[in-house]
Every structure is written in C-alpha cells, then in structure tokens.
Amino acid sequence: MGAVAAVALPWAEPAGDPLEQPGLLSYWAHWDGAWYTEIAAAGYIARAPESTAFFPVFPMIMRVGNVLGGGPALWGILVSLVATAFALYVLYRIAEKFRGKNVARATAFTFAFFPTAFYLNAPFTEALFVALGAGSFWAAYVRRDLLLAGLLGALAAATRNSGVLLLIPLGYEWLRHRQEFGWRGAWELSLVPAGLLGYMVFLWYQFGDPLLFANAQTVFWGRELTNPLTTLGEAWIDAGDSVPYLLDPATLFLDPRAGPTLEASSAINIVFLAIFLVLMGIGFVVLPPGLSAFSFVVMLLHVLTPSPLIPLLGLPRFMLEAFPLFLVLGLLLSRNRPALVAWLLVSGGLGMALTTLFVTWRWVA
C-alpha cells in the first residue's frame, strides 16, 4: 500500500522537518523517520541540539548497516522488520503464559494489524522499543532471567526515554518473587537506567550538557509540563474543529499541504484516547498491577507534555509503546472469533488509509 500510494498520490510539502535521505524505500523516512535517517547519515552534530531529542540506539544500528549501502531508510526498515518479528514473538509468549494460546494468537494479531502498525516497518523506534521493552518483561516473566531483562531494558531506555519506566513492571515482578530472584535480581534490574545514563554521558562529552535531550524537547519541540485537564480540554475543542477535515477525504489525500491531515488528527486522537481509556480500565482489573501501571504512566507522560501544535499529537502511535494494552485487547477478542475478525478488518483498513497519508508526507499519529 505504501509503495502504490507513494507513486500514485501527490506528495505534500512538509515544513520545518529535515527531508528524507536519498536511498531505497526513502518514502518511508518521513517526519521522525527523516530525523533518524539524518542522524544515521550525519550524526547528531548536523542539527544539534534539536536532534538530541531522538535517542541513539536505533540510528546507531542504521548507521552500521548504511556502510554496506542502500541508504539509511532501507536499513531502518530492515531493523524495524526484524524487531517486529521479535516483538510479536515475545508478546505471544507473554500472553501465552498469561492466559493461554488463544489469547496469545489474538494479542499478536491485534498488535500486527493495529491502525498505526505501519510504523513497525518504518524507520521509527516503535518496533525496536517494543521488541526490547516487551522482551525485557518476557525475560523476567517467562524466562525468569533478570540479568537478560536488565540488559534488554537498558537498550530500551537508550531507544526511547520511556524505557526507564520498565522498572515498574520489572520491579513489581521482582517484589512478587523476591525469594526466587533474591537481592541479586534487584542489582540486575538496576541495569535498566544505564541506557539513559549512557546517553547522558555521551551528551555531556559531546556537547557539555547531559540533559540536552530534555532541553531540546522543551526549547525546540515546545513540550512542557502541563495540567492534563487543560490538555484534554483543548484536545476536545480541537477534535470538534477537525471533524470537517475528516469529512473531506479529497483534501486529505490530494491537497499539497500537510496541514489538513495535521488538523484532522485531533478527532482521530480523541478516538484513540477513548480506546486507550477503555483498555486501561479493563487492564487494571485483569493485568498484573505492574503492567497496568507501566501502560498508564507511559501514556500519562504524553498527556503531561503535549505538543504546542496539537494536543495529544502522536497518541495513536504512542499506544504501540504501551504493549500491555494488546494483552487486554487479545483477551477481550479471543473469546469471540467474529469480533476478532471484524476488529482486524476495520483496524487493518484504517491502517491502509493512514499508510497512504504517511508515505506522501501527510501527518499521521
């Protein structure tokens, strides 16, 4: 769908972001993907300090592959595809131990066909983060190996700043089984923040400021601590204003400006917020408390630090990070096969439409 749309539809003209780096499949390297491919090609120094908001593990892997040729976008896609396979595996195993094979199958399907799952094969960090983050919990919950959990958690924390929040479910798992893991387990889990600390050391050495990534989020990206009720109120108002854009698909898919889809995203964000709240509420009942708390805090951070452009900007994509939500979705849909098929058809169809927007430089999630 992405390949067809990139050829058949007119591209919008983005403003402000770096353009995709040349190379194979570069039409997938839009928005944050353009930033990651540029970091992979030229390093952080090319657009510091704003580039430091993007954590280093993903562009480092892309940079290594790019030496072989093909362009950074190609290698970002390959990394994401491999990471997606691992993410699906660990999610399946976690769900299988949690509630059996039927739930595990439904969990894997709902994750793979989520409307924003096209990010799992784009040069974005979502696939790698879920592979490492869910893999970290899988190592503790299924493998009973806290050292592996700590190492994977450290890599997740160097992939996205929310990786340090893995200490919530991992810490809860250790507390529940202190006699099994012992105090050594606590030391092994202390590896998780090492990913963030390592990045801070690099920034200190390279730019003289270990918190440069946080300052970039505030100064360049405009994300500041905000009353969540204010964010939600503004999101509700913007959602009402964005409905006319959704009712004009010709403008969304054919207008050479990226603005209409950015405006239309407010209504979509509210719908995904409603889905999150429903799944989160059920999750607090059926999931281990550590997993529920992790999902809640991950999403809360995005509400507490909204984008100045659009409240809840990116929320549909960020739901992929909160991987325990898919355990809940899998549990609900595994009990009713027609409901699962209907969900996958609607979710996959919406994902196809969003994919066509994304590859033509129109804002999605």
pLDDT at 257: 84
Encode pLDDT of 203-252 as tens digits.
999 999 999 999 999 999 999 999 999 999 999 999 999 999 988 999 99
For 272, the domain range is: 2-359
In order of 127, 215, 340, the CA distances from 172 in angstroms are 24, 31, 31
pLDDT at 146: 97
80 found inside a domain = yes
315 found inside a domain = yes
Nearest residue to 87 via CA among 25, 130, 136, 147? 130
What is the rounded CA–CA span in Å between residue 213 and residue 284?
A: 32
What is the rounded CA–CA span in Å between residue 17 and residue 33?
A: 10
- What's the rounded mean pLDDT across residues 136-155? 98
127 found inside a domain = yes
Q: Over 90: is that where the pLDDT of 91 sits? A: yes
Q: Over 90: is that where the pLDDT of 21 sits? A: no
23 found inside a domain = yes
209 found inside a domain = yes
Arithmetic mean of pLDDT over the chain: 95
Residue found under tokens 């993903």:
58
> Residue 123: CB partners within 8 Å, gap ≥ 6?
28, 29, 33, 36, 37, 58, 62, 72, 73, 75, 76, 77, 79, 80
Residue 200 has phi, psi (to 5 degrees) of -65, -40
Element containing residue 95 per DSSP (H, E): helix 72-99
- What's the rounded mean pLDDT across residues 324-338? 96
365 found inside a domain = no
Residue found under tokens 């893995």:
166
Element containing residue 143 per DSSP (H, E): none
364 found inside a domain = no
pLDDT at 258: 81
Q: Over 80: is that where the pLDDT of 119 sits? A: yes
pLDDT at 230: 95
pLDDT at 67: 87
177 found inside a domain = yes
Q: In a 10 Å sphere around its CB, with 0-12 CB exposed, 13-18 middle and 19+ buried, how is residue 16 labelled? A: exposed
What is the rounded CA–CA span in Å between residue 223 and residue 215?
A: 10
The CA-based diameter of the chain, rounded to the nearest angstrom, is 62
Strand partners, 257: 13
Strand partners, 13: 257
Residue 306 has phi, psi (to 5 degrees) of -75, 160
pLDDT at 357: 95
pLDDT at 309: 87
pLDDT at 16: 67
Give the number of domains in the chain.
Answer: 1
Contact between residue 200 and residue 160 where contact means Cβ atoms under 8 Å apart: no
What is the rounded CA–CA span in Å between residue 26 and residue 4?
A: 14
pLDDT at 14: 78
